[in-house]
Amino acid sequence: MKKQFKERAVKLLGSEAEDYFEILKKPLIKSLRVNTLKINIKSLVKRLEGKDWVLKQVPFIKQGFWVLKGPKHIGNCIEHFLGYFYSQEPASMIPPLVMNPKPGELILDLAASPGSKTSQIAAMMNDEGLIFANDVQINRIKILKINLQRIGVSSVIITRRDGGNYRKNPCMFDKVLVDAPCSAEGAVRKKWSILNQWNLRMINKLSRLQRFLIYSAFTALKPGGVLVYSTCTLTPEENERVIDCLLQRFPDARVVPFRIKGLKTRPGITEWGKESYDSSIKHCARVYPMDNDTEGFFIAKVRKR
């Protein structure tokens, strides 16, 4: 673990930093989300338990389950082949819950691949409405297409555009999700090597990209619409700073508080080093790995006035 990474975690978490370092060493429990477009929750649970799987309900989402006992690769079973579930980390199920999409809405998922959140949004909309699922890399688009096909999503247009290009479609979408590319600090439990690549230069570079994406996404949002910004990292430069820059640039942007039953979150920070952020940023949510036994995540809900 890099010294600078440790110092920053201590600065963020104080006395709880040790708990944080401890949980990072613990691998993630496998988890899945039931694809309600193809099967209902009860039937799948009964079916998997009949095959000696042991499932535990994720407390904040009824479609989410931890797999306490099951095959080594849960993606290599017939139920996955048939599209009955999606192997997805519980923390990554939070942004669509915060967005709360409704059937008939027009949604943009700006950085959609591999498609876990897009497929969750489609399931929440009962595949009624339309989702623009965008990504910039052709290889990622291929994975996105395979996953959306397997899940059975028909209400989707897949685009391969630079995220910044969506500013050319102003005031078009009811809701927008920006699950931005990030330093993935929160995903260390899944891939320890993330820490080897971790450095401040990369974080600042990503922060610029995230601002570029969120500006474009906010421009594409209808007045009264909701933008959800999320990352799987806990660095304030990639989270609170990005939201603060959005609030400064767009006076019609407002951070909205939210609460998800069964999920422990902590408020967004309003001061980091020499920087201080808008007071409303405390309404954003930080999800620390030790609070819910998940990945680390950051989520912000912004409304356009």
CA distances from 277 to 166, 221, 271, 274 (A): 27, 23, 6, 10
Q: Is residue 171 involved in binding another protein (CB under 8 A)? A: no
Task: Decide: is 50 part of the binding site for another protein (CB under 8 A).
Answer: no
Question: Quick one: which of 160, 190, 191, 208 contacts another protein (CB under 8 A)?
Answer: 160
Q: Does 159 bind another protein (CB under 8 A)?
A: yes
Is residue 156 involved in binding another protein (CB under 8 A)? yes
Residue 101 in the binding site for another protein (CB under 8 A): no
Counting contacts by CB under 8 A, is residue 70 touching another protein?
A: no
Of positions 25, 73, 190, 249, contacts another protein by CB under 8 A = 73
Nearer to another protein, 59 or 71 (CB): 71
State which of residues 15, 76, 193, 279 lies at the interface with another protein (CB under 8 A): 76
Contact between 296 and another protein by CB under 8 A: the answer reads: no
Nearer to another protein, 155 or 270 (CB): 155
Length of the chain: 305
Nearer to another protein, 82 or 171 (CB): 82
Residue 191 phi/psi, 5-degree rounding, is: -145, 100
Binding-site size for another protein (CB under 8 A) equals 29
Complex with another protein: residue 138 or 273, whichever CB lies closer: 138
Q: What is the CB neighbour count within 10 angstroms for residue 304?
A: 18
Does 152 participate in binding another protein (rule CB under 8 A)?
yes
Q: Please give the residues from 115 up to 134 whose contact with another protein meets the rule CB under 8 A.
A: 127-130, 132
Using CB under 8 A, pick the residue from 77, 194, 209, 256 that binds another protein.
77
Paired residues of 176 in beta bridges: 108, 227
Q: Indicate the residue among 46 and 249 with the shorter CB distance to another protein.
A: 46
Q: Which of 10, 87, 114, 161 binds another protein (CB under 8 A)?
A: 161
Residues 278-299 as b/e (b if ≥16 CB within 10 A, e otherwise) read: bebbbbbbbbbbbbbbbbbbbb
173 lines the binding site for another protein (CB under 8 A): no
Q: Confirm whether 284 is a catalytic residue.
A: no
Q: Is 214 in the site for another protein (CB under 8 A)?
A: no
Among 141, 182, 220, 299, binds another protein (CB under 8 A): 141
**Which residues contribute to the site for another protein (CB under 8 A)?**
38, 73, 76-78, 81-83, 127-130, 132, 141, 145-146, 148-150, 152-161
Catalytic residues: 232
